[in-house]
Amino acid sequence: MTRVLKSDVLISGGGPCGLMLANELGRRNIRCLLVDPKPGTAFNPQANATQARTMEHYRRLGFAQEIRSMGLPPDHPTDIAYLTRFAGTELARLRLPTAAAAPQAIKAMSGSWSAAELPHRVSQKFVEVKLREQAQRLPSVDVRYGCLLKSFADTGSGIEAVVQAVDGGEPLTVQSAYLVGADGARSFVRKQLGLELCVVPHASAELAGPYQAPLVLIRPDQIVAWRGHTSALASEVLAQVTGRS
Ligand SMILES: Cc1cc2nc3c(=O)[nH]c(=O)nc-3n(C[C@H](O)[C@H](O)[C@H](O)COP(=O)(O)OP(=O)(O)OC[C@H]3O[C@@H](n4cnc5c(N)ncnc54)[C@H](O)[C@@H]3O)c2cc1C
């Protein structure tokens, strides 16, 4: 017999976007089930720069310092240098504080700088581990790697989805009020809905493209799609789920 699990929000995808959303929902005691077919968080490095605004979200959630303690050694320079070749002539250098110096440096910033945090260099593969660890501390959050979203349907009063463990076994029927497609650029959820992923044909937009994430929220009779920075997307979904504008 198929097992049935009820949740408020089903999140498809355990990358930064899905994990951040699980943290936001969990902190408000909203039940959510996150599924991802990978055995765990990302193995490949991908992002290595966490922007100031994202660091501010981590600060609000209370673990910015833990993120800042990961990555390069605390006294390692994070300068950006332009060279003719790897060991060639240095043409220019942007001096940037070390991770250890960043909390003091931010206090001395003035002028047009408005963020409460400085950017930080750390590989996404380490950030995801921290986001997962934080999410799993929250009692209303259920994180299941090794599980794939196979299908879903809008029942009129909610979403009914089928989740399957990648190593086989009985499929799980999930009944939820919302389904969030945080399953990346090749999103299964987006494709099932017949939505195209728009890439703005403009040089600067294309450069910005890889740093953004697509996300789809489904609730009965309504589909909302966004594209933006992962932490900002989590806030958008949260506003919809909690009815906040
Ligand atoms: C080489 C490289 C360098 C980058 N550098 C930076 C950088 O310096 N700074 C920056 O901000 N960004 C950078 N990015 C972009 C950043 O990695 C992405 O924006 C980010 O990973 C998007 O997060 P996401 O959670 O939306 O999607 P993803 O990280 O793609 O996660 C989607 C998840 O959905 C899961 N999934 C897929 N199908 C299903 C399904 N059917 N059911 C359940 N789960 C499913 C996948 O397994 C995956 O884990 C870089 C990307 C690359 C590739």
pLDDT at 211: 44
pLDDT at 1: 66
Instruction: Tell me which residues have their CB closer than 6 angstroms to ligand 1.
Output: 12-18, 35-38, 46-49, 124, 148-149, 182-184, 188, 210-213, 230
Residue minimizing CA distance to atom 39 of ligand 1 = 183
pLDDT at 244: 61
Query: pLDDT tens digits for the chain (245 residues)?
Result: 679 999 999 999 999 999 999 999 999 999 999 999 999 999 988 888 899 999 999 999 999 999 999 988 999 988 999 999 999 999 999 999 999 999 899 988 888 888 899 999 999 999 999 999 999 999 999 999 999 999 999 888 889 999 999 999 899 999 999 999 999 988 999 899 888 877 655 444 433 333 456 667 776 667 777 666 666 667 777 777 777 64
Domains (range + CATH), the chain: 3-52+124-242 (3.50.50.60)
Residue minimizing CA distance to atom 18 of ligand 1 = 211
User: Could you give the maximum distance between any two Cα atoms of the chain, in Å?
Assistant: 68
pLDDT at 7: 96
Residue minimizing CA distance to atom 53 of ligand 1 = 46
| Mutation pick for ligand 1 pocket among 152, 162, 183, 227 (CB with most ligand atoms within 8 Å) | 183
Ligand 1, atom nearest to 163 Cα: 42
Ligand 1, atom nearest to 54 Cα: 11
Residue minimizing CA distance to atom 6 of ligand 1 = 47
